Amino acid sequence: MLSSRMRSKTSRRLLALTLGFGLASAALGTAVPASARQADPAPAGSTAVASARYSGSAEDTAGNKAFFEAVLNSVAKKQAANPSLASVTVYYNASQAPTFRSQIASSASIWNSSVSNVKLQATTSGADFTYYEGNDSRGSYASTNGHGRGYIFLDYAQNRQYDSIRVTAHETGHVLGLPDHYSGPCSELMSGGGPGTSCTNRYPNAAERSRVNQLWVNGLAKAVAKLNKTR
Ligand SMILES: [Zn+2]
């Protein structure tokens, strides 16, 4: 959906966002779907810069990174305000996805019991990212608005077709920095819809848990440094 040129431009802009802690804002790429736009707390006219779907193409890699960078950016601002924070807590707002309340709570529990260096916690204000729900032909995805803020969109139809907690936990995996790997087996959470609708595994495998722990070890500063190194 984004040309490589646009992705590159977006990536550079998001690098500035991450390093500058929100000094720049991007307004590139495709529009936010109507269902998400309606609930989007961002200023009117904001556009999505990228998205990462539950199942899709390699192009979603750009969306994975953009979303993770948006979350990092939000967490970084809080860490900067309170440098003594030892562990990284990522706060989410689930109030805009009431249908998926239990799936979102289960997803947070799954991740919090699977990894140790980063924790997910619900909040109703000042969240690092927000869950939304609605209908979108692209299915569920993690994305960013035009202002460096990440959100997860949960599609009704897809969540009926696939195991809903797996979908939610998969999308939440993007929050923690994991990319899609659709060719992987059902035992991988980030294989998403790749293994088909019969796959109901809701837990990250050992490699995925290890990758998240490594990414967030010693807190956010290292996570940002590693993120920048992978560019
Ligand atoms: Zn995905």
Which amino acids are annotated catalytic? 171
Q: Which residues are annotated as a binding site for Ca(2+)?
A: 163
- Give the confidence band of 54 by pLDDT, cuts at 50, 70, 90: confident
Can you give the pTM of this predicted structure? 0.71
Strands 50-53 and 88-93: unpaired
Residue 174 Cα to ligand 1 midpoint, Å, equals 7
* pLDDT tens string 99-141: 999 999 999 999 999 999 899 999 999 899 999 999 998 899 9
CA 150 to each of CA 162, 172, 175, 195, 219: distance values in angstroms, whole numbers, following the listed order: 23, 11, 8, 26, 20
Q: Please tell me the predicted confidence (pLDDT) of residue 150.
A: 85
Domain layout of the chain by residue ranges:
88-219
- CA of residue 84 to ligand 1 center, whole Å: 33
Q: Which amino acid is at 132?
A: Y
Q: Is the pLDDT of residue 203 over 70?
A: yes
The CATH class, in words, for 88-219 is: alpha beta
**How many whole angstroms from 87 Cα to the centroid of ligand 1?**
25
Name the pLDDT band for 191 (thresholds 50, 70, 90): very high
Residue type, 79: Q
* pLDDT value of position 149: 75
Task: Find the 81 Cα to ligand 1 centroid distance in Å.
Answer: 31
Q: Of residues 55 and 117, which shows the higher confidence score?
A: 117
Per-residue pLDDT tens over the stretch 141-172: 988 766 667 899 999 999 999 999 999 999 99
